[in-house]
C-alpha cells in the first residue's frame, strides 16, 4: 500500500520564504541605519570644507595692502572656492565681501553651529 503524503506548502507559505523576508527586512533596516548618518555627515563635511576654503580666501584678502580687491584675484578666489560670493561678518571688524556682479537669489541658509545629529539627518533627506 502506498502512503499518501500531505501536500507540501508552496514556496510563498513556507518557512524558507518567511526567513527570506525577515532577512531582507532586517538587512534594509541595517542599511538605512548606516546610510542615513553617512549622507548627513557627507553633507556637513561638504559645507564645512566650502566654509574653510572661503575663510582662507578672505584671510588672503585681509592681509593685502589697500582696500580694493583686483578683478582677476577676485575671480580666481571665487573660482577656487566654487562660490558666487563670500561674506565674512566679524563683530569687531568690517564686513569683507567678494562677489560676482549679480549673484543669484539665496534659496537656503545653513547654520552649522546650531545642528544636532537628528537635525543633520533630516536636513540631508529634505535636500534629496
| Structural domain contains residue 120 | yes
Percent of the chain whose predicted confidence (pLDDT) is above 70: 95
pTM of the entire predicted model: 0.69
Tell me what the mean pLDDT of segment 79-98 comes to. 77
| Structural domain contains residue 109 | no
| Structural domain contains residue 4 | no
Residue with cell 542615513: 36
| Structural domain contains residue 68 | yes
| Structural domain contains residue 73 | yes
Q: Using 50, 70 and 90 to split pLDDT, how confident is the model at 108?
A: confident
| Structural domain contains residue 40 | yes
| Structural domain contains residue 65 | yes
pLDDT of residue 23: 98
Any residues with CB less than 8 A from the CB of 56 and at least 6 apart, and which? none
> pLDDT tens-digit profile of 49-63?
988 888 888 888 777
Q: Which domain holds residue 67?
A: 14-102+115-127
Q: Using 50, 70 and 90 to split pLDDT, how confident is the model at 116?
A: confident
User: How many C-beta atoms surround the C-beta of residue 108 within 10 A?
Assistant: 7
Any residues with CB less than 8 A from the CB of 82 and at least 6 apart, and which? 50, 53
> pLDDT tens-digit profile of 10-22?
777 888 899 999 9
pLDDT of residue 73: 83
pLDDT of residue 126: 85
| Structural domain contains residue 54 | yes
Domain tally for the chain? 1
Amino acid at each position: 500500500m502506498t502512503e499518501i503524503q500531505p501536500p507540501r506548502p508552496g514556496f510563498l507559505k513556507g518557512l524558507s520564504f518567511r526567513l527570506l523576508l525577515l532577512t531582507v527586512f532586517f538587512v534594509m533596516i541595517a542599511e538605512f541605519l548606516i546610510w542615513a548618518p553617512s549622507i548627513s555627515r557627507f553633507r556637513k563635511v561638504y559645507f564645512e570644507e566650502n566654509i574653510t576654503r572661503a575663510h582662507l580666501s578672505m584671510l588672503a584678502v585681509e592681509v593685502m595692502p589697500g582696500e580694493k580687491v583686483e578683478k582677476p584675484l577676485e575671480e580666481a578666489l571665487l573660482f577656487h572656492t566654487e562660490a558666487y560670493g563670500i561674506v565674512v561678518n566679524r563683530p569687531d571688524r568690517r564686513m569683507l565681501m567678494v562677489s560676482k556682479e549679480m549673484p543669484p537669489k539665496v534659496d537656503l541658509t545653513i547654520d552649522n553651529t546650531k545642528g544636532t545629529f537628528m537635525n543633520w539627518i533630516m536636513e540631508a533627506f529634505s535636500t534629496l
